[in-house]
Amino acid sequence: MRSLARWIALAACLVSANAQVLLPYEQFDNDGIPPEVYRQRRERLAAAHSPRSLIVLLSADVRNRQNDVDYEYRQNSNLLYLTGCTEPRCALVIIPGGTTWNGEHITELLFIPPRNPDRELWTGVRMGTNEAQQLLGIRPTLDYAMLGEVLDSLLTNRDTLYIASGLPTPSVTIPIVGKPIEVEQLLRDSLQRRHSDLVVRTSLRTLSIMREVKDEHELRLLRRAIGITLDAFEHVLRSVRPAMNEYEIEALMEYHFRRAGAEDVGYPSIVGSSYNSCILHYQKNRRPTKAGDLVLADCGAEYHGYTADITRTFPISGKFSPEQRALYLLVLEAQDSAIAAARVGAPFRATHRAAESVIARGLVDLGIIASPSEVRRYFPHGTSHYLGLDVHDAGTYGPLREGTVITVEPGIYIPPGSPCSERWWGIGIRIEDDILVTSNGPVNLSAQLVRHPDQIEALMRSQ
């Protein structure tokens, strides 16, 4: 009770007319990326651009959920990659040619709201200008309210402005109007009215090139996110049983994410049973499972901004039917072939070509399609995408480079009513792992989690 009284007294102080009490800003994790690494990234980005250019990165929008409730905040990945800052309403300005500020030569500025004890009573402790300068190592750090004024001053002698990845919200569609309001175009028009010769670009290829290859710190955090996800999958496979709702499986998965320290999911969890396993981005997760169902679970924990992306398909009753097993083994063969194709210098689509070839041949052999040209009916998506700060991460989609992390995720989906034997209907199978491309060949970062149907059945019996 004394502890509660202490916090009530502190809250009273915070809302007083002359409130000046500020709780200390604390960092509870010590395994993040060092500020020096972020500084090196900013320097590399600046060095790749003209001295007469300016680069601006804006924080992600605070998204309203409904009325006065916002969604949990997630930072813009480009800004996170260059600063480590997770705060809303901030901006980074990189000045490749440098400028003089208060008699000092600078090449970067960070804008962030100052501390406000009255507001922090509602939102929690925030990183203010002083804390940001100390923890992030970016000097100077200014009040976010000064961004427009300072930017106008900096643009006076610049010919190109890069706003990396455009705006947090590039366009807004209002149903009554019937057409999108292009926020990016409004920004261009506004800037060019004040700076008539300014070229405004909303893409930054150099940043995509940089983010495509992961450094040792990123790989460490990715391995952590993947490890959390694999452990959660093992718990799920040992615990599921017929009649569980899809959302119970989702809850069990995400409980283990959070319990292991993941801040969030990298994307909404997909848990589809029976015919729902044939819906590529199914997210309702409400159906009760039934004996004999296959369940496709596509889930990934996010740890310090980096996300895993793992998919396993398993029989809720613990044993594959002959049809389920036949298609599962075909997808597994396709995945093995695709993983082997993930080599330095290979075209990005090499993994897909390998997987598609195996699945096309296998579906013909099973009598599900008449010709390999029909394969996209049941394998309609690509096999790989980049993985990192985003589940579909930034990259060039050129030849695979050492240090790149990609997914390999072939699948077969045969919805009810498909033009094939009814015994295949309602079977959806995807197997997905996270692959590091190295000069010594592909490394499966998620290899710890069972993939073969015999292994899955054995793990499910061990519950």
Kindly name the residue from 52, 205, 392, 423 that is annotated as catalytic: 392
Element (H, E) at 57: strand 53-58
Q: What is the largest CA-CA distance in the chain?
A: 78
352 labelled catalytic? no
Kindly name the residue from 212, 432, 433, 434 that is annotated as catalytic: 432
User: What is 397-440 written as a DSSP string?
Assistant: -SS--TT-EEEE--EEEE-TT-SS-GGGTTEEEE-BEEEE--TT
Kindly name the residue from 26, 36, 68, 422 that is annotated as catalytic: 68
Question: Which of 108, 114, 146 is CA-nearest to residue 129?
Answer: 114
356 labelled catalytic? no
In whole angstroms, give the CA distance from residue 81 to residue 95: 17
392 labelled catalytic? yes
Kindly name the residue from 235, 325, 349, 381 that is annotated as catalytic: 381
259 labelled catalytic? no
409 labelled catalytic? yes
The C-alpha torsion from 77 through 79 and 85 to 91, rounded to 10°, is -140
Alpha-carbon Rg for the chain, nearest whole angstrom, is 25
| Residue 22 DSSP symbol | -
Kindly name the residue from 312, 343, 352, 385 that is annotated as catalytic: 385
Kindly name the residue from 250, 409, 433, 434 that is annotated as catalytic: 409
CB < 8 Å & 24+ apart, contacts of 261-265: 261/228, 261/303, 262/225, 262/228, 262/301, 262/302, 262/303, 263/302, 263/303, 263/304, 264/72, 264/74, 264/301, 264/302, 265/299, 265/300, 265/301, 265/302, 265/307
| Residue 59 DSSP symbol | P
430 labelled catalytic? yes
In whole angstroms, give the CA distance from residue 353 to residue 342: 11
281 labelled catalytic? yes
In whole angstroms, give the CA distance from residue 92 to residue 115: 18
- Burial class (CB within 10 angstroms; exposed 0-12, middle 13-18, buried 19+) of 443: middle
Residue with tokens 């519950």: 463
CA distances from 115 to 22, 138, 149, 377, 440 (A): 8, 17, 20, 56, 50
298 labelled catalytic? yes
Kindly name the residue from 120, 250, 302, 309 that is annotated as catalytic: 309
Cβ neighbors of 2 (< 8 A, separation 6 or more) are none
Question: Which of 230, 217, 386 is CA-nearest to residue 300?
Answer: 230
Kindly name the residue from 430, 433, 434, 451 that is annotated as catalytic: 430
381 labelled catalytic? yes
Taking the mean position of all CA atoms in its chain, how far away is CA 123? 24
Kindly name the residue from 162, 413, 433, 434 that is annotated as catalytic: 413
Contact 286, 247 (CB under 8 A): yes
Kindly name the residue from 281, 286, 376, 452 that is annotated as catalytic: 281
Q: Which residues are catalytic?
A: 68, 281, 298, 309, 381, 385, 392, 409, 413, 430, 432
